Amino acid sequence: MVENLIEQAFRQYGLLGLLVAFIVLGPGFTYVRTKNTRLQAETKAQELLNEFLREERDHAEQLEENLTATLARLEEEKEEVFQLQLKLTQNAFQLEKLAELRQQVQALTERVTELEAQVNRLEAENERLNSEVACKQARIESLEQRLNPESRAGSDRE
């Protein structure tokens, strides 16, 4: 019966329950009258204490394993954060470069537009000049024919 009380105290309240049970069930307690019963209670208490220590050691080992795994994950995440920061820096540089290239493209586009307008003006001027040259050549031929009626007559005789 004493063993059950001690075991129940340990199971319900842990080490604190075990200590309280020992205090209450000390040498003056009515159930623990004989040396044999007290020895059995102390043996049971020692077994429970050993079980408690074993559970605590196992728990500590599990916590240590969890801590090691968590620290490893933390290191991995730190590396990932570093890589992401590096990529962000590279992306920022690329964005700056892209903005510069866009400005260059815009400037070149404007220059091409200006040159195309100039080409159109020059082509129109060229057409106008060719037309003017053709008119002047026709006028020259007409004037030459009027001035040289003899050359016309001579060419008719031949």
Residue 153 has pLDDT above 80, yes or no: no
Of 22-36, 81-95, 109-123, give the lowest mean pLDDT range: 22-36
Q: Whats the size of the chain, residue-wise?
A: 158
For residue 32, what pLDDT is reported?
45
For residue 152, what pLDDT is reported?
53
Of 21-25, 59-63, 64-68, 111-115, give the lowest mean pLDDT range: 21-25
**d(C-alpha 126, C-alpha 113), whole Å:** 20
95-109: pLDDT as tens digits: 999 999 999 999 999
Sorted by sequence, the CB contacts under 8 Å of residue 7 that are 6+ apart come out as 44, 48
44-73: pLDDT as tens digits: 778 888 888 898 899 999 999 999 999 999
User: What's the distance, CA 112 to chain centroid?
Assistant: 39
Task: Give phi and psi for 147, each to the nearest 5.
Answer: -75, -30
Percent of the chain with pLDDT over 70: 77
For the chain, the distance separating the N- and C-terminal CA atoms, rounded to the nearest angstrom, is: 159
Tokens representing 110?
Answer: 């404007």
Average pLDDT over residues 71-82: 96
3-class secondary structure per residue, the chain: CHHHHHHHHHHHHHHHHHHHHHHHCCCCCCCCCCHHHHHHHHHHHHHHHHHHHHHHHHHHHHHHHHHHHHHHHHHHHHHHHHHHHHHHHHHHHHHHHHHHHHHHHHHHHHHHHHHHHHHHHHHHHHHHHHHHHHHHHHHHHHHHHHHCHHHHHHHHHC
Considering only residues 71 and 158, tell me which one the structure prediction assigns the higher pLDDT: 71
pTM above 0.75, yes or no: no
